[in-house]
Amino acid sequence: MATRTAAAEVVQASQQAELEEEIRQAEAEFARGEFIDVTVDDLDRALVEGKWPWPRVSSE
């Protein structure tokens, strides 16, 4: 049982680290002005219209 608990703690720590890295990346993008302002209504409208709500990003 202790092994299972330890394994779960390792997984949780790994997931926490991934989330924290994602937050750091998002904060850096926001600081550089690399974000879009999208409302729930915008997303709903895009879904109904069958459109992609996010801007296309070139892979240069």
Higher-scoring residue by pLDDT: 49, 52: 49
Average pLDDT (55-60) is 62
Rounded-to-integer distance, Cα 25 and Cα 31, Å? 10
Task: Please write the tens of the pLDDT for every residue from 12-30.
Answer: 888 999 999 999 998 998 8
Classify the C-alpha dihedral 30-31-32-33 as positive or negative.
positive
Question: Mean pLDDT of all residues in the chain?
Answer: 85
The closest alpha carbon to 54, from 33, 41, 38, 34, belongs to 38
Is the pLDDT score of 53 beyond 90? no
pLDDT of residue 49: 95
pLDDT of residue 41: 95
